[in-house]
């Protein structure tokens, strides 16, 4: 396994198991299979509504002495309805209880978007809370307080552009150390990666395979496929491996953490084996030359109707 190192010396495994869209009844077996296959990094979130089952699998793996807690890296995320300072700690306590953990290795603010408390997803303008009402700096200060209490070891953000990160950094006593965003050859996010690297912020790639299993309602008819791109197929053939393995290896070669999701044991094993694939400069250059630009998760949910948010509040470009 390869790792990225935080300023305090903690190391995060560069390939983790994503759990977004992993159904209850399936995610327990997926997490257990992943840990048995050598994964030591599990990426979670309260809004995935499966953390309780993830926690049961983690507990089982520890009880069966497959792994020690200190050798696991567990990430979770604060949902948008808990941005007000009074709601941050209770949200984290709920996640810790569900995961059956005393602390998280990394806790992320899931989006730079605030919702009315108790709202999973907005249905009308009344479900939104503006950042004037719930400033990111207030949410961050509450997260810092949780870190000081030992509930979480590292703090970061998800789906944040450089401007929103600057808002956090301006008043932060504990600086953000991770930004988790959509990253793949159709959306390399070069400017955002450059900014985060300059600021000492690591990056995690979600939807590295194009999130093909997300609901059809969120897909477009002319949506491109990473799996069908001739350049990626050619490189996979060259290395005698699968297209998903090339996509995962590409993310690692760029110096980013990557969290492919799967509930299929064979795919779970193949995904972590991607760490051993050595792409050469010709491979990386060929992928750099892919001119297709496409964001699979377009963020439209946060800007519909009379929302106080715009896509420019979220995306870098």
Active-site residues, by number, are 48
DSSP class of residue 150 equals T
Question: Residue 158 and residue 108: Cα distance in Å, rounded?
Answer: 6
Question: Residue 78 and residue 89: Cα distance in Å, rounded?
Answer: 10
Question: Residue 295 has which token pair?
Answer: 């964001």
Task: Tell me the chain's radius of gyration from C-alpha atoms.
Answer: 19
Question: Residue 249 and residue 235: Cα distance in Å, rounded?
Answer: 11
Question: Residue 163 and residue 38: Cα distance in Å, rounded?
Answer: 37
Question: Residue 224 and residue 86: Cα distance in Å, rounded?
Answer: 42
315: left (phi over 0), alpha (psi -120 to 50) or beta: beta
Are the C-beta atoms of 181 and 150 separated by less than 8 Å?
no
Burial of 46 (0-12, 13-18, 19+ CB in 10 A): buried
Q: Which of 80, 84, 166 is nearest to 133 (CA)?
A: 84
Exposure b/e, 206-236, CB count within 10 A at least 16 = b: bbbbbbeeeeeeeeeeeeeebeebeebeebb
């Amino acid at each position: 396994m390869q790792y990225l190192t935080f300023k305090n010396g903690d190391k995060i495994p560069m390939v983790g198991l994503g759990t977004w869209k992993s159904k209850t009844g399936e995610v327990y077996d997926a997490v257990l299979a992943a840990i048995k296959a050598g994964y030591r990094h599990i990426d979670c979130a309260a809004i995935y509504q499966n953390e309780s089952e993830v926690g049961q699998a983690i507990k089982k793996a520890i009880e069966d002495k497959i792994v020690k807690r200190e050798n696991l890296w567990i990430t979770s995320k604060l949902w948008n309805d808990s941005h007000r300072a009074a709601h941050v700690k209770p949200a984290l306590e709920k996640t810790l209880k569900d995961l059956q953990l005393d602390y998280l290795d990394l806790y992320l603010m899931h989006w730079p978007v605030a919702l009315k408390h108790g709202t999973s997803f907005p249905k009308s303008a009344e479900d939104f809370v503006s950042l004037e009402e719930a400033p990111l700096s207030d949410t961050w200060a509450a997260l810092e307080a949780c870190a000081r209490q030992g509930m979480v070891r590292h703090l970061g953000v998800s789906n944040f552009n450089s401007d929103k990160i600057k808002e956090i950094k301006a008043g932060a006593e504990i600086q953000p150390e991770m930004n988790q965003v959509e990253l793949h050859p159709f959306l390399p996010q070069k400017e955002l990666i450059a900014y985060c690297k300059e600021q000492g912020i690591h990056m995690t790639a979600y939807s590295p395979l194009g999130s093909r299993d997300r609901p059809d309602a969120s897909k477009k008819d002319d949506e491109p496929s990473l799996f069908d791109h001739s350049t990626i197929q050619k490189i996979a053939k060259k290395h005698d491996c699968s297209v998903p393995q090339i996509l995962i290896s590409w993310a690692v070669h760029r110096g980013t953490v990557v969290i492919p999701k799967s509930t299929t044991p064979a795919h779970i094993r193949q995904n972590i084996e991607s760490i051993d694939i050595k792409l050469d400069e010709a491979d990386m250059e060929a992928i750099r030359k892919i001119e297709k630009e496409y964001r699979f998760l377009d963020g439209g949910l946060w800007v519909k109707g009379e929302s106080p948010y715009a896509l420019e509040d979220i995306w870098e470009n």
